A and B are shown apart, each in its own frame.
Chain A
């Protein structure tokens, strides 16, 4: 039974993505990984192909897609065997802030460029001492006439180098309540006082330019505040829902990609005269993994259906973000182990999956936070 119904338009979009990714992304995955960077031109290319920001309405240059487009997007993206070109972050996590909270002027100014790839975005919440708990935020925003002055450091920012526009969370230090003082600001590349640190060396997502951002008396026009003053925390919490849903989907579709790869590997790898897939223990493990993936798929589709239907899915999103990303890590760990010695080489495709997936149980709210949120909203 299909829970999610795709229209012909969705299927066409899927086909367009598949063809584009196969030609312009997958073949370069190894090179980007080696270079520890994805060239900016690639973003432009995706934009020129009309494949950025499916959720942006036509009036701002987009296709006015729905969340099913996002799902289709993530499914096709999971096949590219890389995660450095972090399209979902831009498309479905950052740009929606502008879409939801930007003034008409801001939307007209930035959205068409976000769609065309001329303006790549990032969001900066995390600070060296501020992870799960945003109340300790130290980056400040002070009004000065028609301008706002931002000071502080942000860290672990994805698209840290490639971004042309960064949404920065900062607080008004005059307000005591740690939550109601937070607002969101749009800071453009090249603004004086805005500097970027070195890219971090990290376990995975090596082609992703995770970096620190520094704001030192960085002045931006007042119009660059996003949404209402002091509404930053609420906006972040609201938009984190979609980010977590995307992370949850990433976990499930990532696991699907792994079991597919693994079954193929076990069928074609002959050890002592027979394929690995004919070993009883391996067959059983493959079936167990495939079963878990199917369970994940069913939960995921129900969740997406309800999300599109406008229902409150905070509990289920938190559950699947946690369960799905744990599943992904468990499966890639098992996959490497089943593959044996070959899986210790970087040339084996799942090694990258092993390294990249470790962050998924941490980002978009750690899985511990997910359980905290779920428990709270379940009323237990």
Chain B
């Protein structure tokens, strides 16, 4: 058992730190967050330098690296800036299905675009009134000769309206068992009949667009089917496995970033004749926060490492998402408290960490969803 980072991981960490330091400008970020604008320049540059889709194969403009390296980079990005970090982490959102199940044609056509920072990807799976178990989706895909006709509506689609394509989870056989009745399709954003309705202002992650995606008789060629017909359920589960780790890594970075700022502040700010850091209670708060961050980092790295070893463990992934995002919110809240009135002010950034971490805590399955998954997995089948 080795808890140290490998040489390659250390190199990526160093590169990510340098990139964030050079490219993430605080004033720019405050401005973009306020105006709810996408950080186009930073994204393009991250793509050019290979920070997007690092785990893609080299033919797809990736670096053939593990999820562990991705997590380390995402952590550093979110540490430096919660919103810019998440925006970059989600710029290849939903591409994993194509990477793992897509035809060579789809891979070659879309993945390099994503990895090089020229196109955003997205995944549309959630529906209004439906939870995360995807029993009988109302979005359907019906075969018509060489094409599929897709109808339905997907909610809370990240990068909705700005993505170049969506991987859309559809019901292809309503009579079949859930493990066979769903299929995944790549739908280009400019297909006729696809409309993205922006959800409007959000609590956090304001640089990323979120939309409801409406599909009205959208026709896609049969070659847009990702993987086999009926493999959608398997794909969405695998998507969650990888993506929940990516979210957990964001949370670790956000927690660390909020903590860094609070730690600097308590060492500078004086009240009652001494630095706030010199009060015992501040020391204990700092101790608790560091302990929490160390815990969630270990858990998240463990989940990522496991994934890279090919022994994926869904419950570990869900645990990482559950614990890390909750911790990030708690750390950011305590950071605001340590900053006092300044913490409430946008300029001091920790308020943005608080809002952004709250969004990733809820996003892609809140605590209830994660606990359902973990509990089910741990308890296993009950003998009758």
- Interface residues of chain A, those whose CB is within 8 Å of chain B, are 126, 129, 131-133, 135-136, 155-156, 200-204, 270-272, 279, 281-282, 329, 333, 336-341, 343-347, 351, 354-355, 358-359, 361-363, 366-368
Also in contact, A281 and B368, with CB within 8 A (given A202-B344, A272-B131, A355-B355) = yes
* Chain B residues within an 8 Å CB radius of A343: 203, 362
A-B contact pairs, 23 of them (CB 8 A): A155-B341, A201-B345, A201-B346, A202-B345, A203-B345, A203-B351, A271-B131, A272-B133, A272-B135, A329-B333, A333-B333, A336-B362, A337-B361, A337-B366, A338-B366, A344-B156, A344-B204, A345-B201, A346-B203, A347-B200, A355-B203, A358-B333, A363-B341
Q: With both chains docked as a complex, state the minimum distance between the C-beta of B344 and any C-beta of chain A, in angstroms.
A: 5
Q: How far is the CA of A346 from the CA of B362 in the complex (A)?
A: 14
Chain B, residues 120-144, CB within 8 Å of chain A (1/0): the string is: 0000001001110101000000000
Most buried by A among B135, B155, B359: B359
Q: Is B148 an interface residue (CB 8 A)?
A: no
B169 CB → nearest A CB, Å = 16
Q: Which B residues are closer than 8 A to A by beta carbons?
A: 30, 34, 126, 129-131, 133, 135, 155-156, 199-204, 210, 270-273, 279, 281, 329, 333, 336-337, 340-341, 343-347, 351, 354-355, 358-359, 361-363, 366-368, 371
Given the known interface contacts A156-B341, A204-B344, A362-B341, the answer about A341 and B126 at a Cβ–Cβ threshold of 8 Å is: yes
**Separation of A267 and B268 alpha carbons in the complex (Å):** 48
A346 & B201 in contact (Cβ 8 Å cutoff): yes
Task: Tell whether, in the assembled complex, residue B361 and residue A132 are in contact, meaning their CB atoms are under 8 Å apart.
Answer: no
> Within the complex, which residue of B130, B199, B347, B368 is in contact with A272, where a contact is CB–CB below 8 Å?
B130
A327 → B minimal CB distance (Å): 14
Q: Are B155 and A341 in contact (CB under 8 A)?
A: yes
Do residues A366 and B337 form an inter-chain contact, with CB atoms below 8 A? yes
Contact call B346/A203, Cβ cutoff below 8 A: yes
State A345–B272 Cα separation when bound (angstroms). Answer: 41
Nearest B residue to A356, CB-CB: B344
Known: A200-B347, A202-B351, A272-B135. 17 other contacts (CB 8 A): A133-B271, A136-B271, A201-B346, A201-B347, A203-B344, A203-B346, A203-B351, A272-B129, A272-B131, A282-B368, A336-B358, A340-B366, A341-B126, A344-B210, A344-B359, A347-B200, A351-B203
A354 CA / B368 CA spacing, docked (Å): 19
In the complex, are the beta carbons of A271 and B340 less than 8 A apart? Answer: no
In the complex, chain B residues whose CB is within 8 Å of the CB of A129: 270
Given the known A-B contacts A132-B272, A336-B358, are A361 and B337 also in contact in the complex, defined by CB atoms under 8 Å?
Answer: yes
The interface residues of chain A lying within 8 Å CB-to-CB of B210 are 344
| A343 to B358 alpha-carbon distance, docked (Å) | 10
- A200: which of B129, B204, B337, B346 is its contact (CB, 8 Å)? B346
Closest A residue to B282 by beta carbon equals A368
Decide if B362 touches A340 in the complex (CB within 8 Å): yes
Residue contact B271 to A132, C-beta cutoff 8 Å: yes
When C-beta atoms are compared, the residue in chain B nearest to A133 turns out to be B271
- List of A residues within 8 angstroms of B133 by Cβ: 272
